[in-house]
């Protein structure tokens, strides 16, 4: 073992590089699992404007996976909480890894496509959500500086490129 109780592992993809300098005393690193709803209607995409520690930013309806929750249930719940609209996932757009320097967290995002109902009258939006808004891809691209992460536009670009996977690629073994 190297000095100081730290192990490094050879990276199988990088010649001569190492990854994962981990102290025996440290906790195992874990990414933060999130879900997002990618919803298009008449050429516009559903986004939420929200208060963040970096100001008012745009994101897809999205949030964290709760303990014991399936990915599809999480995206339906988060969409309802942030938009007051019921979301029914119909496909998996993709799985995205994003290391955020702003909050020193690596996110693993499962982005879903699906259908959405009209908003439930009188249902309050989640704390921090200013509004739900429908924007064209051009409007979204123009406001890239106000995106919560680069995944906002990447997911829309993947949607427009026709990327879709069936939900049965996911297994929720409970």
**pLDDT tens track for 59-69:** 999 999 999 99
The structure tokens listed for 82 are 């942030």
Sign of the alpha-carbon dihedral angle for 125, 130, 138, 118: positive
User: Is the pLDDT reported for residue 10 higher than 80?
Assistant: no
Residues 58 and 85 placed together within one structural domain of the fold: yes
pTM of the complete model:
0.82
Domain with 95 in it: 32-165
Same domain for 88 and 144, yes or no, is: yes
In a domain, 174, yes or no: no
Residue range 91-101: average pLDDT? 95
Q: Is residue 171 part of a domain?
A: no
**Segment 141-160, tens digit of pLDDT:** 999 999 999 999 999 999 99
- Identify the CATH number of the domain in which residue 48 sits: 3.90.79.10
Alpha carbon distance 21, 29 (integer Å): 11
Residue 170 domain-assigned? no
**Residue 125: phi, psi to the nearest 5?**
-85, 155
Q: What is the rounded average pLDDT of the residues 62-91?
A: 97
Residue 149 belongs to some domain of the structure: yes
Q: What whole-number distance in Å separates Cα of residue 135 and Cα of residue 38? A: 12
Look at the chain and report how many structural domains it folds into.
Answer: 2
**Residues 36 and 111 placed together within one structural domain of the fold:** yes
């Amino acid at each position: 073992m190297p000095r100081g109780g730290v192990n490094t592992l050879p990276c199988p993809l990088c010649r001569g590089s190492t990854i994962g300098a981990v102290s025996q005393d440290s906790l195992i690193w874990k990414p933060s699992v999130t879900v997002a709803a990618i919803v298009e209607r008449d050429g516009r995409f559903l986004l939420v404007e929200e208060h963040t520690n970096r100001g008012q930013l745009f994101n897809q309806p999205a949030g964290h996976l709760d303990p014991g929750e399936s990915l599809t249930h999480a995206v339906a719940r988060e969409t309802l909480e942030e938009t007051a609209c019921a979301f029914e996932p119909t496909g998996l757009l993709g799985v995205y890894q994003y290391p955020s320097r702003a909050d020193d967290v690596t996110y693993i995002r499962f982005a879903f496509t699906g259908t959405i109902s009209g908003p439930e009258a009188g249902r309050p939006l989640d704390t921090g959500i200013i509004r739900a808004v429908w924007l064209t891809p051009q409007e979204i691209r123009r406001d890239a500086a106000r995106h919560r992460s680069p995944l906002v536009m990447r997911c829309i670009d993947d949607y427009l490129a026709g990327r879709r996977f069936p939900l049965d690629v996911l297994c929720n073994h409970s």
